[in-house]
Amino acid sequence: MKLRFSTGDFPTIQRSALFALFVALASAPMFYARNSPRQSTEIVRRTDVSVPMRDGVVLRADLLLPSADGKFPALIYRTPYGKHFALKEYKTFEKAVARGYAVVVQDVRGRYASDGDFVAYQNEGRDGYDTIEWTAKQSWCDGNVGTFGLSYPGAVQWLAAVENPPHLKALVPAMTFSTPRNFFYSGGVFDDSWLAWIWMHIAPDERRRKNLAGPRTYEEAAASWKHEHGRLETFLPLRDLPDLKDVAPFYYEWLAHPPAEPWWDWAELRNKYGRVHAAVLNLSGWYDEAYGPDGATANFNGLMRERRGEKDPRARTIIGPWTHGGQEKTRAADRDFGPSAAIDYDELILRWMDRYVRGIENGVDREKPVRVFVMGKNSWRDEDAWPPEHAHHETYYLRSESNSARFARLNQTLPDKPGSYNEFISDPVHPLTDPYDVLGAHDYRSFAGRKDVLVYDTDPLPADTEVTGQIRAEIYVSADAPDLDLWVRLLDVAPDGTAFNLMSPGLDLLRASYRNEKVQPELLKPGEIYKLTLDRMLTSNVFRAGHQIRIQISGAFFPYFSRNLQTGESEITSSEMRPARVRIYHDPEHRSRIELPVISH
């Protein structure tokens, strides 16, 4: 089960501020609060302060002020998860007040204390703009405003920033998206994790507000999910699922619009970076939801293109070895990355705000714009650009001695055997299913040898090999069905057989009928060979000497994304399914391959 939420956005995380600060001091200059202003202060609190929107709807916020008289720079945190939960759980707000900031913690439209109807994400641009400008005009604000938050509270910042509010000086959007094509969908496939997100985090309060039957608290929803998730995740067609009709009509609106349809422009960031004039610190993790590292790098690069030539482009990106919301932890599920992996997230936020909201010269603008954690080596490295300019691409070709092999080879020798291919069966009735129920690094060695999986391994590597940057796969396929989904997963295989994934599912996925990103699907002709290109994968990992690089290919990775019915019809509108026989070609005319960005040392 994958949930599109974060322990950083909901009251379930237990923090250790002293440990995180120790780690920051020891390992990461960007995480160290040099010259940070500190004040000892009591807090003036105002509850459910009315914030009017341009259409007359009133949102409500809790206000935290330094007790001293005067005007203060302000930080805004907007959430759908309940401001009362956030204020109870997190110390970020009190730390900010102690630093001299006024803090506004607001329930977004239609959630908890705020009026209006909740339509996920669609009102956040206008409402965010109005909240920023309302804040700047208050008697207690000096006109300088920043925003912060992770996941949904990260997305609301970008949606507001592209509206260009005049008083927004800085934002820290963590673990969020850049395009609806890699957020609501990925590779042309609808993201099924929205079901769990709505069930657990949206539906309970909607039922309370509308006096509907069903779970009305997170705890009740979590208990019901345990026995309902199987039915919900396998229900077809998707648009006919009755359970969310009253609590989340926006879900069905999403299903009605294919990913390339212009309707989604309200959520598209990639053509709007020129509208953003605030300083932006992006943050994500290699095991974040797939949209996270994609968003953190795409948004960073978009800003850098718009701001080229500026002495300080005021844009940074940081990617650690974390899961969604796990930035203060050293583990990502079954893989431990050592003490330097954890950061002091609060201090990171406040140091950025001190520089770009308050104008304090604390050295942030003199640090390199990219900071990545290199897994395997388990250390941080600063870069001038993403992807690193000193990486060179090495091509590894898929090869096989037998067309019937389930285990095949991956090396740098050009394929020379005519008619060479391997094949697997993809059956949406019995899809390849993740045995783990949380995201992060897991051992997938058990998938090798299955009839619905192909694996391609290098020989044991003679020396450490670092792969850092964007990864591109070109796979030649045919099928006896009009459509298929292609998963191309990258794994690190240790000498004992442990096979760890290097990213969360999503960027390693492409629906064949979406291969040219058209609104209307382009179906396959049975038996005809097509080149499918996956170019959205990214990681930073050292494959140690003696390890092997593995490419794992399948037609599903359930339940993260909706199943391809393989009939040519959409799972959104149809329920009939059929199995498919899929061939992966690696002959001299169809050189299936993966291009890896290698860092020489």
Return the closest-CA partner of residue 551 out of 407, 405, 434, 413.
Answer: 407
Are residues 434 and 600 in contact, defined by beta-carbon separation less than 8 angstroms? no
Q: Is 324 among the catalytic positions?
A: yes
Catalytic residue among 6, 151, 478, 554: 151
Q: Where are the alpha helices (DSSP H) in 235-262?
A: 249-255
**Long-range Cβ pairs for the range 417-420 (8 Å, 24+):** 417/587, 417/588, 418/587, 418/588, 419/587, 420/585, 420/586, 420/587
Rounded to an integer, what distance in angstroms lies between the CA atom of residue 360 and that of residue 296? 25
Are residues 232 and 199 in contact, defined by beta-carbon separation less than 8 angstroms? yes
Catalytic residue among 62, 107, 191, 288: 288
Return the closest-CA partner of residue 193 out of 498, 518, 560.
Answer: 560
In this structure, which amino acid lies at residue 121?
Answer: Y
- Alpha carbon of 437 to those of 152, 215, 262, 341: distances in Å? 21, 22, 34, 23
Q: Is 151 among the catalytic positions?
A: yes
Q: Which residues contact 286 (CB under 8 A, 6 or more apart)?
A: 293, 319, 320, 321, 322, 332, 373, 375, 502, 503, 539, 540, 541
- Alpha carbon of 324 to those of 84, 174, 321, 327, 503: distances in Å? 22, 9, 10, 8, 12
User: Which tokens go with 146?
Assistant: 């920043």
Residue 456 forms beta bridges with which residues? 408, 551
* Pairing mode of beta strands 279-287, 315-323: parallel
C-alpha triplet 517, 439, 573: angle, nearest 5°? 40
Q: Where are the alpha helices (DSSP H) in 416-484?
A: none
**503-527 burial by CB neighbour count: b if 16+ within 10 A, else e?**
bbbbbbbbbbbbbeeeeebeebeee
* Pairing mode of beta strands 379-383, 335-336: unpaired
DSSP 10: T
Q: Which residues contact 218 (CB under 8 A, 6 or more apart)?
A: 10, 200, 201, 204
Rounded to an integer, what distance in angstroms lies between the CA atom of residue 301 and that of residue 307? 10
Q: Which residues contact 201 (CB under 8 A, 6 or more apart)?
A: 3, 5, 10, 80, 81, 218, 221
Return the closest-CA partner of residue 375 out of 448, 274, 286.
Answer: 286
User: Which tokens go with 184?
Assistant: 């609501």
Catalytic residue among 201, 324, 586, 590: 324
Rounded to an integer, what distance in angstroms lies between the CA atom of residue 363 and that of residue 350? 13
- Alpha carbon of 249 to those of 210, 267, 573: distances in Å? 13, 17, 16
In this structure, which amino acid lies at residue 476?
Answer: Y
User: Which tokens go with 74?
Assistant: 């302000």
Phi, psi of 239 (to 5 degrees): -70, -15
Q: Which residues contact 450 (CB under 8 A, 6 or more apart)?
A: 406, 432
Q: Is 554 among the catalytic positions?
A: no
Phi, psi of 336 (to 5 degrees): -105, 135
At how many degrees (to 10) do helices 124-136 and 152-161 cross? 80
Q: Which residues are catalytic?
A: 151, 288, 324
